[in-house]
Amino acid sequence: MPRQVHLATALRSAPRAAEVATALTRFGFGTLLREIGLDRFVDKSEEEKAHIGQRPIELRVRLLLEELGSTFIKLGQIASTRADLLPASWIWELKKLQGKVPPSPWEGEDGIGAFLESEYGERLATNFHNIEHEALAGASIAQTHRATLSTGEKVVLKILRPGIRERLTADIELMRLLSYLVQSYLETMGFDPEAVIDEFSRQLLRETDFRIEARSMARMGDDFRDVDGVAFPHVYKDLSTESVLVMEEITGTLLSDLDVSLLDDQTREAIVRNGADAVFRQCLQIGFFHADPHPGNIFVLEEGSLCFVDCGMTGLIEPRTLDQFAQITHGAITGDLDRVVRSAIQLADADPALVDNRALRAAVWRFIDEFRQGTLESLDMGRLLNEFFTVLREYHLHCPPDVVYLIKALTTIESVASSIAPDFDVVSHVHPYVERLVRDRHGVHAIKERSEKALLRYIDLVEDLPDEISRVLRSLGRNRLSLQLNHKGLDTFTEEVERASMNISWSLGIAAVIVGSSVLVLADSVDQDVSILTAVAVFGFVSAVAVGLFRLVRLWLGRRD
């Protein structure tokens, strides 16, 4: 089983396991370690140093992740984007995690210089005229360096930290082990730790392959090639590898480092307008978007133009999902409860029977009631989707990660806009994107197009029907037609029948012993002295009573469980 494999891998990494266990103890999780049997890895004196046990668990987990280093920090950062998997209190705390860490040194066998030589070989001297040894910045899994190509172009290298993949693999296996061991401990906290780890490992795999980020950045650059005010760095695909991303150097100021109070109103509005246009166009029109447009990933250029960097976290929304968004938006405004509930269930890939769940329908109706008096012009799309999926999360309906990233992107850029230009009406500005989303689903042209597609499907069905009937008849004639039934709840029914049969068998056995003992007493009643038959009868009565009481106690305890 996979869990056994993960356990074996984790035990092979015993030193790291001991380090993690020690950190858990230091941050007040000593009781948990004892319950799951990992206290053997910890020096008992560490428990005496723990003075944080009474503080909120969300805070302790955040400090623990910072203590354990890059992999665990990245886990927390990715988990903070998954409002469908974690409660709001956890999201709020994990967003405080800082990914900036001291960069790896250039010199040494394990340094950046030696890593680049092993990555490029002779191509390093051929393609690069100069690479600055001092890093521009260091993050949890990568760091950046300025460089000059042999052609004279200024570029920036995003370099994966040497040895980080091996560390990530070992840490993820430890995370899987811990998530399995603490599954029951965290069930009452509102999320599934194994689901968080699974999503984290998938996302981390994408973020540590810079060839994926190179393709994403190039694609976004093509999408906005003819759009003024929005840009993405040019990527040198022929020089980029799985561990090194080569892109043009952007000469601007990070929005996170910019003192917006020094900017005039026109520039601030230009920043907000360009940012909102970029994100809403990507999310609601193109369907491929930058999933983390926070100020640290946006450069401000001249006259409020923007350049988005760090495209490792992206989202891809297929047309059907956008169609479901349109259904939810239109249903919320028109008060169509059935439409919104059906779209939600389809989006979450949940049991269709939930459409009749009274509690879910009531919760969705409360959500609709907040928006149904409004219009498209006044609709806050980010708030609508965020509140809608908060409702779904309460009923354990988990949406695809890309859907969650879309909501995060929309709400992030709206938050950025409100902090830079509070008086700018973002809702009105992005109204054309929302209107187009709904119009593409409910306009005359859209209805005509869907009708044509439905008609073609019916025509295909009629054309295929004779062949399908012939196939069924041939199978029937050859006695090859089989019918497979899936009985929901049959296992529970079988268990109840087996339990009832067992109780009946015991009852019959006890009754037989009582009857047999009574016969022995009657047979021996003619003799005034106590004989062996009476002794056997008394033993039978006592045994029957004892067994009967024992079975009754077992039955009562079973009912309680």
Q: What is the pLDDT of residues 420-469, one digit of tens each?
A: 888 888 777 877 877 787 777 666 776 777 677 777 877 887 888 787 78
Compute the distance between CA of residue 366 and CA of residue 360 in angstroms, rounded to an integer. 10
Q: Report pLDDT for 549.
A: 81
* pLDDT surpasses 80 at 392: no
Residue 94 lies in a domain: yes
pLDDT for position 216: 94
Kindly state whether residues 325 and 408 are assigned to the same domain: yes
Displacement of CA 66 from its chain's centroid (Å): 21
Considering 249, 275, 306, which residue would you say is the last residue of a domain? 249
> Which residue range forms the structural domain that includes residue 229?
105-161+209-249
- Name which residue leads in pLDDT, 185 or 427: 427
The answer to whether 146 and 136 have CB atoms below 8 angstroms apart is yes
Q: Kindly state the average pLDDT of the residues 287-304.
A: 90
Mean pLDDT on 259-288: 90
pLDDT value at residue 301? 93
Cα 497 to Cα 489, 502, 548, 556, 557, distances in angstroms: 13, 9, 20, 17, 18
CA distance 61 to 92: 12
- Segment 309-329 shows an average pLDDT of 84
Indicate if 109 and 97 belong to the same structural domain.
no
Q: Which of 404, 419, 442 is the last residue of a domain?
A: 442
Whether residues 294 and 355 share a domain: the answer is yes
Least confident of 216-230, 334-348, 361-375, 479-493: 479-493
Residues 513-541 have a mean pLDDT of 72
Identify whether residues 230 and 274 lie together within a single domain.
no
Domain membership flag for residue 465: no
Q: Are residues 81 and 149 in the same domain?
A: no
Average pLDDT of the residues of the chain: 79
Given this model, what pLDDT does residue 487 score? 62
Q: Are both 281 and 403 inside the same structural domain?
A: yes
Q: Are residues 420 and 289 both part of a single domain?
A: yes
Query: How many of the other CB atoms lie within 10 Å of CB of 431?
Result: 18
Asked if residue 97 belongs to a domain, the reply is yes
Distance CA 199, CA 294 (A): 21
Asked which of 424, 442, 460 is the last residue of a domain, the reply is 442
Give mean pLDDT, residues 160-174.
Answer: 82
Q: Which residue has better confidence, 278 or 139?
A: 278
Together in a domain, 435 and 328: yes
Alpha helices in 313-376 (DSSP H): 319-334, 337-347, 358-371
Would you state the pLDDT for residue 127? 94
Measure the CA dihedral 284/285/291/292, to 10°: -90
Averaging pLDDT over each range in 45-59, 67-81, 325-339, 467-481, which range is the top one? 325-339
On whether both 188 and 244 belong to a single domain, the answer is: no
- Contact by Cβ (8 Å): 228, 133: no
Domain match, 198 and 91 both: yes
285 and 304 housed in the same domain: yes
Higher pLDDT, 149 or 402: 149
Tokens of 247: 């892109």
pLDDT in tens, 536-561: 777 877 888 888 787 777 776 665 44
For residues 44 and 102, the model is more confident at 102
The HSE-up count of residue 470 (CA atoms within 13 Å, CB side) is 5
Q: Flag whether 463 is in a domain.
A: no
Grouping H, G, I as helix, E, B as strand and the rest as coil, residue 392 is: helix
List, in sequence order, every residue forming a beta bridge with 378; answer none if it has no partner: none
Q: Return the exposure string of 73-109: e unless at least 16 CB atoms fall within 10 Å of the residue's CB, then b.
A: bbbbbbbbbbbbbbeeebbebbeebebebebbebeee
75: in domain: yes
Query: Residue 5's pLDDT is what?
Result: 42
- Residue 252: what residue type? G
Specify whether the CB–CB gap between 190 and 87 falls below 8 A.
Answer: yes
**What share of the chain in percent tops pLDDT 90?**
20
Q: Given a cut of 80, is residue 34 above it in pLDDT? A: no
Mean pLDDT throughout 227-254?
94
- In terms of C-beta density within 10 A (0-12 exposed, 13-18 middle, 19 or more buried), how is residue 287 classed? middle
pLDDT at 53: 55
Do 198 and 240 fall into the same domain?
A: no
Confidence of residue 182 (pLDDT cuts 50, 70, 90): low
User: Domain count of the chain?
Assistant: 4
pLDDT above 80 (res 126): yes
**Poorest-confidence range of 37-51, 311-325, 516-530?**
37-51
Under the banding of pLDDT at 50, 70 and 90, the label for residue 192 is: low
Q: Is 83 in a helix, a strand, or coil?
A: coil
> Predicted confidence band at 307 (pLDDT cuts at 50, 70, 90)?
very high
- For residue 246, give the nearest of 255, 235, 257 by alpha carbon: 235
Percentage of the chain surpassing pLDDT 70? 79
CATH number at residue 149: 3.30.200
Dist. CA 148–CA 170, nearest whole Å:
35
Q: How far apart are CA 425 and CA 276, in angstroms?
A: 11
Is the pLDDT higher at 465 or at 146? 146
Regarding predicted confidence, which is higher, 132 or 545? 132
Question: Which residues touch 110 (CB under 8 Å, ≥6 apart)?
Answer: 104, 162, 163
pLDDT digits (tens, 9 = 90+) for 331-378: 877 788 888 888 888 887 788 888 888 888 888 888 888 776 666 566
Name which of 237-241, 324-328, 384-388, 463-467 the model is least confident about: 384-388
**Is position 549 within any domain?**
yes
Residue 491 lies in a domain: no
Q: What is the mean pLDDT of residues 309-334?
A: 83
**Does any domain span residue 462?**
no
